[in-house]
Amino acid sequence: MRSRAFARVVLLCVFAAGCATKPKPIAEATGSVTLDGLPVEAGIVSFIPMDDGKISGGAAISAGRYKLYPGSGIEPGNYRVEIRWAKPTGEKVKEPVYGHSPDIFAEAIPAKYNSESVLTVELTKGTNALDFSLEK
């Protein structure tokens, strides 16, 4: 009796494994980001899908480099790219109550590369090498 129950469990597991859906292909991206030939110190690269049903993702920029990891779940397809860099202006917020003065930040990347981005890419399965050379 136990052997029949065990056999049923094994068959059920085999059947369930055979019916599992295949994982979706994943895209990665890595590269550099420069503005007027100089590395963007810090910021973010966002990939916004142009195809229905896909998710967006992003990667941090550090010392002019970024890497979109496979864990982001980005699928191959067409994406609009937005690049942002909140750069210190050198000015301070006057804070008389608390006694410290935090930095004021401003977007250093022109709008044509973020809120009004003209950048598009096609990500393919696996690793995509994409460098962004931006100009003011």
Averaged in consecutive runs of 10 residues, what is the pLDDT profile of the chain (136 residues)?
58 55 88 98 97 93 97 94 94 75 90 97 97 97
Q: What is the pLDDT of residue 13?
A: 58
3-state SS, residue 29? strand
Residue 2 within a domain: no
Q: What is the pLDDT of residue 51?
A: 87
Residue 17 within a domain: no
CATH number of the domain that residue 28 is part of? 2.60.40.1120
Q: What is the pLDDT of residue 93?
A: 82
* Per-residue DSSP letter, 90: E
The CA-based diameter of the chain, rounded to the nearest angstrom, is 82
- Structural domain of residue 72, as residue ranges? 23-134
Residue 115 within a domain: yes
Residue 9 within a domain: no
Which amino acid, 53? Answer: G
User: Would you say 45 and 33 are in contact if contact means Cβ atoms under 8 Å apart?
Assistant: yes
Residue 114 within a domain: yes
Residue 18 within a domain: no
Sequence-ordered strand ranges (E) for 64-112: 65-68, 77-84, 86-92, 103-107
Residue 125 within a domain: yes
Residue 120: CB atoms within 10 Å: 11
CA distances from 66 to 13, 30, 41, 62 (A): 42, 6, 11, 6
Residue 34 within a domain: yes
Which amino acid, 58? Answer: G
Q: What is the pLDDT of residue 94?
A: 77
Based on the structure, what is the number of domains in the chain? 1
